[in-house]
Amino acid sequence: MGERLMFGDFAKAIGQLGDKRFQSVLLKGLGLTVALLVAIYLVFVWVIGVFVPDTFTLPLIGQITWVDNALSIGSFFLMIGLSVFLMVPVASAFTGIFLEEVAEAVEDRHYPGLPEVPRQSLMDIVMDSLGFLGVIVAANLVALVIYLILSPAAPVIFWGLNGFLLGREYFQMVAMRRLGREGAKAARKRHMPQIWLAGALMAVPLSVPLVNLLIPVLGAATFTHLFMRLEGGRS
pTM of the predicted model over 0.85: no
Question: Is residue 91 a contact partner of residue 215, using CB atoms and an 8 Å limit?
Answer: yes
CA dihedral in degrees (93, 29, 218, 114; nearest 10)? 90
Query: In b/e form, how buried is each residue of 78-100, taking b as 16+ CB within 10 angstroms?
Result: ebeebbebbbbbbbbbbbbbbbb
Question: Is residue 76 a contact partner of residue 44, using CB atoms and an 8 Å limit?
Answer: no
117-156: per-residue pLDDT in tens? Answer: 877 777 777 777 778 778 887 888 888 888 888 888 888 9
Segment holding 51, helix H or strand E? helix 20-51
186-210: per-residue pLDDT in tens? Answer: 999 999 999 999 999 888 888 787 7
147-191: per-residue pLDDT in tens? Answer: 888 888 888 998 999 899 989 989 998 998 889 889 999 999 999
